[in-house]
Amino acid sequence: MKIALAQLNYHIGNFENNTKKIIANIAAAKAKGADVVVFAELAISGYPPRDFLEYDDFISLCEKAAQEIAEHCTDIACIVGLPIKNPVIEGKDLFNAAYFIVGGTVKQVVKKALLPTYDVFDEYRYFEPNTVFDCVEFKGKKIALTICEDLWNINDNPLYVSCPMDELIKQQPDLMINIAASPFDYGHDEDRIKILADNAKKYELPLFYVNQVGAQTEIIFDGGSLVFDQEGALKAEMKYFEEDLQLFDLDEVQNVKNKYPAAERVSDIEQIHDALILGIKDYFAKSGFKKAVLGLSGGIDSAVVCALACKALGAENVMAVLMPSKYSTDHSIKDALDLVSNIGCKHEIIPIKEAADAFDSMLAKPFEGLPFNLAEENIQARCRGIVVMAMSNKFGYILLNTSNKSECAVGYGTLYGDMCGAISVIGDVYKTQVFNLARYINKDQEIIPVNTIVKPPSAELRPDQKDSDSLPEYDVLDQILYQHIELKKGSREIISQGFDEALVKRILRMVNLAEFKRYQTPPILRVSPKAFGMGRRMPIVGKYMD
């Protein structure tokens, strides 16, 4: 049996585009000589469709698309994911399903049993779990067909009380196929390989796994579809962050060593870089926009975002706005202009001194006798927010937010100022990682000026200001934040590792108090195991971390 894995970039609710893409890949797989072509979980609708699933018309359009796809499944079978109605009144109204289509008709329906409801997943909100398990028979082989999470209940701390494969293995299948929508984070590829290899070893069956690729707002899918032999050896690894269609011979997977080349493992920073490029590109393409605007300060965060945006969209489609205040240093302006020169994007210089002075004058009476403090600093940041939003409104640019994860975590940012934007590019990238990203971007030539990388970070909202005036050094801050956010450690656990007690409690309190700000930030491109937003839901008024 020859099996084609089609790793595609879908668009949620774009049935015309998704259907055309699936049909085109059915034809391509047929031309390669495939017996069956496999598409991803919820390929027809796109993943995650979220509350689109509450509309009957949405489900009807999924079914209509599936029937159109079936017409092209002559002389080839296909497996494709979609939501379907649950005919039983009791329980949820839908199943997360896969159609096995052959001879122009849907021969069998397989439903997902294990429905993740953690981090960015919310499937039990919509779907009923499957309880009936049958293999798919095709060309003399029995296929144990499962959907994504159905193979993830194999570790030492299982989330579910049963495993679909424990039921399917009783029917003596010849191979496993798993269709998935497995989101990217910089450590997930290795976790994914281990989980799937463990399944192949446990059930002593070859395993064909197809993931999707592309970004859906904040969630990024990296592809990396996989093939394992019956001993759990990785036989093939498809492209990352790109669409891909590859053909595999079941007999060769089982019996021939080193037949298919595996992808080269790359660093976390390279993965983050490629994920952010894809995230920006798809956010714009799928939203119907082409041009971006951002504030360019001369600092490292905006420099990295500008470089990423230019790579994703083309430098000609990026407008960098320099907005110096009376506290901006000459070298910051020069660093920003050097970046513009290196990268070739558009730019404008719009000083904010007059606007900030006007607000100071307006507020002179109520502020009379009070010292300069955060209020005046934030006025400057909000003046900049007004400028870039005006550019967005006037020219149709989409504003990119340039706040990093360290700042988001501790609330070191101004609501309606530097925290505004349509999409947050590096809001899931710690400051120390931003420096590493800058060095990676510069690996072949200097794009980000060296001075931007080596100078002490500063918001430049008061004389001689540095981030370290308000925050611990980022090397220490990011370690504590990582322990707390990604590893979910409390203060006592972190302090026991040797961190200063007062510092840990101060940082965790800042994280807790900044929750109200994070509720109002733009969607953040997710690249870590625990990103702010959909995957981390904390109460604003909670006192646990105070």
* Model pLDDT for residues 202-245, shown as the tens digit of each residue: 999 999 999 999 999 999 999 999 999 999 999 999 999 999 99
In terms of residues, how long is the chain?
A: 546
User: Containing H/E element for 4?
Assistant: strand 2-7
User: Containing H/E element for 268?
Assistant: helix 268-287
Going by DSSP bridges, is the β-strand pair 207-210/213-216 parallel, antiparallel, or unpaired? unpaired
300 carries a ligand binding annotation: yes
| CATH superfamily label, 271-467 | HUPs (3.40.50.620)
33 carries a ligand binding annotation: no
187 carries a ligand binding annotation: no
Nearest-angstrom CA–CA distance, 221 and 237: 15
> In a 3-state reduction of DSSP, which class is residue 7?
strand
* Separation of first and last alpha carbons in the chain: 60
Question: Are 456 and 480 a contacting pair, CB within 8 Å?
Answer: no
Q: Which pLDDT value is given to residue 462?
A: 58
Structure tokens at 115: 């429905």
Q: Which pLDDT value is given to residue 234?
A: 94
317 carries a ligand binding annotation: no
Q: Which pLDDT value is given to residue 158?
A: 84
Question: Are 533 and 523 a contacting pair, CB within 8 Å?
Answer: yes
Q: Which pLDDT value is given to residue 22?
A: 98
Nearest-angstrom CA–CA distance, 13 and 350: 40
Concatenate the DSSP letters of all residues of 468-484 into one string.
Answer: GGTS--HHHHHHHHHHH
209 carries a ligand binding annotation: no
Backbone angles phi, psi at 111, to 5 degrees: -115, 145
Question: Are 33 and 78 a contacting pair, CB within 8 Å?
Answer: no
Q: Which pLDDT value is given to residue 325?
A: 87
155 carries a ligand binding annotation: no
CATH class, range 2-265: alpha beta
Q: Which pLDDT value is given to residue 262?
A: 65
Q: Which of 34, 2, 40 is nearest to 21 (CA)?
A: 40
Strand positions, DSSP E, 238-328: 244-249, 292-295, 318-322
Q: Which pLDDT value is given to residue 465?
A: 63
CATH 3.40.50.620 residue spans of the chain: 271-467
Q: Which pLDDT value is given to residue 263?
A: 65
Q: Which pLDDT value is given to residue 257?
A: 80
**Which amino acid makes up residue 383?**
C
Q: Which pLDDT value is given to residue 544?
A: 73
Catalytically active residues are: 41, 112, 148
Distant-in-sequence, close-in-space partners of 149: CB < 8 Å, separation ≥ 6: 112, 114, 115, 116, 121, 123
247 carries a ligand binding annotation: no
Structure tokens at 519: 């509720």
Residue ranges, the chain, pLDDT below 50 = none
CATH 3.60.110.10 residue spans of the chain: 2-265
User: Containing H/E element for 299?
Assistant: none
Q: What are the Cα distances from residue 186, in Å, to 192, 218, 221, 265, 268?
A: 11, 15, 11, 12, 5
Nearest-angstrom CA–CA distance, 136 and 110: 9
Backbone angles phi, psi at 37, to 5 degrees: -120, 140
- Which pairs count as long-range contacts for 123-130, CB under 8 Å and 24+ apart, including other chains? 123/96, 123/149, 124/92, 126/53, 126/54, 126/83, 126/92, 126/93, 126/94, 126/96, 127/83, 127/92, 127/94, 127/95, 127/96, 128/86, 128/88, 128/91, 128/92, 128/93, 128/94, 128/95, 130/95, 130/164
157 carries a ligand binding annotation: no
Structure tokens at 479: 């370690």
Question: Are 15 and 61 a contacting pair, CB within 8 Å?
Answer: yes
Question: Are 401 and 427 a contacting pair, CB within 8 Å?
Answer: yes
18 carries a ligand binding annotation: no
407 carries a ligand binding annotation: yes
Q: Which pLDDT value is given to residue 305?
A: 98
- In this prediction the pTM is 0.95
Where do we find the tokens 């800042």? 510
Nearest-angstrom CA–CA distance, 442 and 473: 24
